[in-house]
């Protein structure tokens, strides 16, 4: 038998959509047509494509009820990012914490080798090692909280991870006080150990620093004296220089041309306790505009050492105003340049 020309043809029947291959062959007795049904083609034609399930949107703030539900199924990693000047927050974390949470120390997850300024943004590789020590990957949904209920310093940890490109990132609304009021379970006793740090090549956590959200001293020099928009989140007394700075050796004063919006002003109470949430979007925009600040243009947030400045940055982000940068060194760095 000798094979001649061949061609493919689909036959549509009421009972089948099977694609059939027809071979035209030449035999000793004349021409013939042989039909061959392609099994692989049948499978490809009949099996529908599986649509990807859309990912759940990542909210900036999550309620205690939301976190309780998601913790049941292990869908999130929880981080305690509490901080208070002069207090041992790690000891408090060891006494009372949300179950499964790990502790994020902004003085440890920081640049401790090239500067003596407190809790400055770390370099990428040390940062990645710290995230690996917390057992994180960039694909996981992380929920941050703090003990103050006013996002000090969960907002700072949020800004740091946000700046390093972690996309699945939320903050617990009202922090630990709101969690306890919502009858969330509390874990006590020695906390779980941190993961052993690994080498950079073995690390699972990969970051990508976005410098647009980081302001340095050079940018401040360009924007000071009213040439740009610098917003200070300290109290009015500290901003006006009528109250001593809490850090030893830090003089009183403010950046020339900066505007004062104490960080508490972007917050509103959730109840009778210390727990708070952010103002509605329109109220945040109204607040900034009342101080002569256009939130649709670049806003640089500052404070004493870059902690409560992150609350202002987070407020802008919650209001859909992405043009912000946090002055990492803040007043602690700037005052060193003064004579």
Q: Which residues are catalytic?
A: 303
Query: In sequence order, what are the residues at sequence separation of 6 or more whose Cβ sits closer than 8 angstroms to the Cβ of residue 21?
Result: 6, 8, 9, 35, 36, 37, 38
Q: 288 and 231 in contact (C-beta within 8 Å)?
A: yes
Q: 246 and 85 in contact (C-beta within 8 Å)?
A: yes
Whole-angstrom distance, CA of residue 233 vs CA of residue 152: 12
Whole-angstrom distance, CA of residue 182 vs CA of residue 304: 33
- Short-list 114, 125, 313, 285, CA closest to 213: 313
Whole-angstrom distance, CA of residue 188 vs CA of residue 211: 39
- Short-list 240, 260, 217, CA closest to 120: 217
Q: How far apart are the first and last CA of the chain?
A: 102
Could you write out the DSSP letters of every residue in 20-37?
Answer: EEEEEEEETTEEEEEEEE
């Amino acid at each position: 038998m000798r094979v001649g020309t061949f061609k493919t043809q689909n036959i549509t029947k009421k009972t089948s959509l099977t694609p059939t291959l027809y071979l035209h062959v030449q035999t000793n007795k004349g021409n013939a047509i042989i039909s061959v049904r392609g099994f692989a083609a049948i499978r490809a034609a009949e099996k529908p494509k599986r649509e990807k399930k859309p990912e759940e949107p990542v909210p900036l703030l999550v309620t205690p009820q939301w976190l309780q539900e998601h913790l049941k199924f292990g869908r999130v990693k929880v981080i305690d990012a509490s901080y208070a000047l002069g207090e041992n927050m790690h000891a408090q974390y060891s006494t009372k914490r949300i179950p499964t949470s790990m502790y994020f120390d902004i003085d440890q997850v920081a640049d401790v080798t090239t500067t003596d300024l407190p809790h400055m943004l770390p370099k990428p590789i040390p940062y990645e090692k710290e995230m690996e020590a917390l057992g994180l990957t960039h694909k996981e949904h992380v929920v941050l909280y703090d003990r103050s209920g006013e996002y000090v310093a969960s907002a700072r940890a949020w800004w740091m991870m946000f700046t390093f490109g972690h996309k699945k990132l939320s903050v617990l609304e009202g922090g630990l006080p709101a969690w306890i009021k919502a009858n969330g379970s509390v874990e006590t006793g020695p906390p779980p150990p941190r993961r052993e740090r690994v080498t950079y090549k073995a690390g699972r956590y990969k970051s990508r620093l976005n410098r647009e959200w980081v302001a340095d001293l050079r940018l401040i020099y360009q924007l000071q004296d009213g040439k740009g928009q610098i917003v200070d989140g300290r109290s009015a007394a500290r901003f006006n220089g009528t109250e001593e700075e809490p850090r030893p050796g830090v003089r009183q004063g403010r950046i020339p041309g900066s505007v004062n919006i104490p960080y508490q002003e972007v917050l509103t109470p959730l109840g009778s306790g210390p727990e708070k949430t952010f103002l509605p979007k329109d109220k945040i925009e109204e607040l900034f505009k009342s101080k002569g600040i256009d939130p649709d243009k670049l806003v640089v947030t500052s404070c004493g050492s870059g902690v409560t400045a992150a609350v202002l940055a987070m407020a802008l982000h919650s209001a859909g105003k992405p043009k912000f940068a946090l002055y990492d060194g803040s007043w602690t760095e700037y005052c060193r340049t003064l004579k």
